Structure 1
């Protein structure tokens, strides 16, 4: 059902990613100075992630876990959606914590955990796929990269401002 929607609206995921790339660097300074809001938004961004990866679906599984290393591209709609799915949580966690590498590691571990859960609980009707993990990890790299650049710019600006009298 979700894949059908994404196939009918192929422009959606690249547009979401482009919007995030444009808006992300400008939002980071405001969020970095309000870590509680950034953490709250990071937790909220996990809701669609959980809904799209863990909510049970009614389908017959042909395999529990598929091993493949396909890179996500806009033409591979489902894989590209996996990439986009992890950009916001990784970005927000990196901004909130001001620790981009820790946020990247957490996002990669979270993705692996989701894939493991899909493999171990066949009742949810989802199968794990290493390509999904790769797409999620690349999305986390994009999100953390955007956050790191924005935080670096924010710190440089902060050091150039004169001290208050």
Structure 2
């Protein structure tokens, strides 16, 4: 149902990435320094990843394999852009919680590769392995890590201006 809606309104998909990023940044700012909450947000944001990639579809794929292709998303590429949006929140929250953006980026890419590998070797779940999905998920993780870096910069800047204002008023 969601897929049909997105296919019918493909122009909304790139626009939808912006509110996802905005919500992640706002939650990151509000939860700055609260690592447990950030880890919880990272965990909760993984639920759609697993639901949309590993929950059986009810159909079975006849062969074990993976489609090998690499293409960059265009504004009309609903599935590709949805894969970007899927990995942005967990990568953002995990990078903020761990303060290890490169480790988070690597973990996001590896997680996506594992999901695709499972889709390839377990045809009973009815999901198709595709290298484009891995690439788009990894791009989503890159954007999430970059968003976390920007959020972290804002938090640090706000803390610095707060401490310099406090020092001036003393």
Structure 2: 5+ residue stretches without partners: none
Q: What corresponds to 1:22 in structure 2?
A: 22
User: Contact 2:55–2:125 at 8 Å: present in 1 too?
Assistant: yes
Distance 2:82 2:137 in 1: 9
Superposed, 1:44-83 pairs within 5 Å as: 44-61=44-61, 64-83=65-84
Shift in Å, 1:46:
0.8
TM-score (normalizing by structure 2)? 0.86
Q: What corresponds to 2:96 in structure 1?
A: 95
SS at match of 1:141: helix
Structure 1: 5+ residue stretches without partners: none
Q: What corresponds to 2:129 in structure 1?
A: 128
Distance 2:50 2:12 in 1: 19
Shift in Å, 1:66:
0.3
Distance 1:2 1:29, change over 3 A: closer
How many residues are aligned here?
165
Q: Which runs of 4+ in 1 moved over 6 A?
A: none
Distance 2:50 2:128 in 1: 15
TM-score (normalizing by structure 1)? 0.89
Distance 1:3 1:124, change over 3 A: same
User: Contact 1:31–1:96 at 8 Å: present in 2 too?
Assistant: no
Superposed, 1:143-158 pairs within 5 Å as: 143-158=144-159
Distance 2:108 2:38 in 1: 16
Bigger shift: 149-158 or 39-48? 149-158
Q: What corresponds to 1:42 in structure 2?
A: 42
Shift in Å, 1:79:
0.9
Distance 2:7 2:160 in 1: 47
Shift in Å, 1:12:
4.0
RMSD: 2.0
> CA deviation digits over 1:64-112, x for unaligned, max 9?
2000001122211111111111111111111111221111111111000
Distance 2:54 2:102 in 1: 26
Shift in Å, 1:60:
4.9
